[in-house]
A and B are shown apart, each in its own frame.
Chain A
Amino acid sequence: MLLKDICDWLQGEVLTGRDKMGMEVQGACASDLMSHVLANAGEKALLITGLNNLQVVRTAEMSDIEAIIFVQNKRPAPEVLELAKEKHLLTILTPYSMFTTCGILFKNGLRCGLDDGR
């Protein structure tokens, strides 16, 4: 699934890494628990989160996550975006809640990036 399409569906504002919009992601991980993301997120996954601190970017970096969706217009501070830029991460801000964001992406065919028992 193309990150560009994901951004469109979520009425997203691209914050960093616009050059990665043509990339594909293979699944998504939605969580506010970074250790959960570190334990479970698949590679080339999309991270959907309600947090907006530096550790979100670090967690994405360590997990080889390509893009982060910050839900509910929770705009990260400039230093967080600076780090995201340095790590070549695509970051997108969406007005939707975590629940709605997941619903929109699921309806459009994106699935969980980890083995969730299916």
Chain B
Amino acid sequence: MMDDNKQFKPLKLHFTVEQGDFIRAGEASSKIKKVLSQLGFPGPLIRRVAIAAYEAEMNIVIHSWGGELEAEIGPEHVKIVARDRGPGIPDIALAMEEGYSTAPDKVREMGFGAGMGLPNIQNCATEFIIESGEGKGTVLRILIAVKE
């Protein structure tokens, strides 16, 4: 597919992510991964997108009051936007440090909240932008290039 049709129109996917819904957490990322597989993207790229999307989705479930996950899939890159409704990140540099976390014990018992989420996203991304502030929502813009 990729070689035959380099100019295919970007495909947009949109998902609502609920606060505290640990049953469905990961469903949106799973669907994004499935679509990328069906479109024939290379395995390592799919893995990077899936991991970044999943960490972003978990962040919405764990830390926010709900939000949404969007994927824009094009021939050159995949863009993931995770947008939530607060409470925001007061100190983004601190949140980016490996090991720093504000997650409650309940979340840690599930294997998250180790302060690895945002650094993991950074490692998977070609470009990664965080827009946030205390009392505001958070927007993560993640771009992953098909060819590095």
Contacts and interface: CB of A to CB of B under 8 A. Distances in A.
Contact of B51 (A36, A49, A62): A62
B116 A55 contact: no
A53 B112 CA distance: 12
Contact of B116 (A35, A53, A54, A61): A35
A24 B129 CA distance: 39
B54 A56 contact: no
User: How many of chain B's residues touch chain A, expressed as a range?
Assistant: 20 to 34
Contacts of B47: 43, 62-64
Contacts of B115: 35
Interface of A: 31-39, 43, 49, 51, 53-56, 58-59, 61-64, 79
Interface string B20-55: 001101100110010000000001000100110011
B111 A54 contact: no
B29 A55 contact: no
A38 B116 CA distance: 9
Contact of A53 (B111, B119, B120): B111
Interface SS of chain A: helix
Which of A35, A61, A63, A79 has the most CB atoms of chain B within a 10 A radius of its CB?
Answer: A35
Given A54-B26, A64-B43, 4 more contacts: A34-B110, A53-B111, A62-B54, A79-B23
A42 B114 CA distance: 20
Interface of B: 22-23, 25-26, 29-30, 33, 43, 47, 50-51, 54-55, 58, 110-112, 114-117, 119-120, 123
A32 B30 contact: no
Given A54-B23, A56-B111, A64-B43, A38 B51 contact: yes
Nearest to A37: B111
B44 to A, nearest CB: 8
A35 B55 contact: yes
Contacts of B114: 33, 35-36
Contacts of B33: 61-62
A3 B123 CA distance: 30
Nearest to A34: B111
Contacts of B123: 39
Contacts of A37: 111
A54 to B, nearest CB: 7
A55 B22 CA distance: 8
Contact of A58 (B26, B43, B117, B120): B26
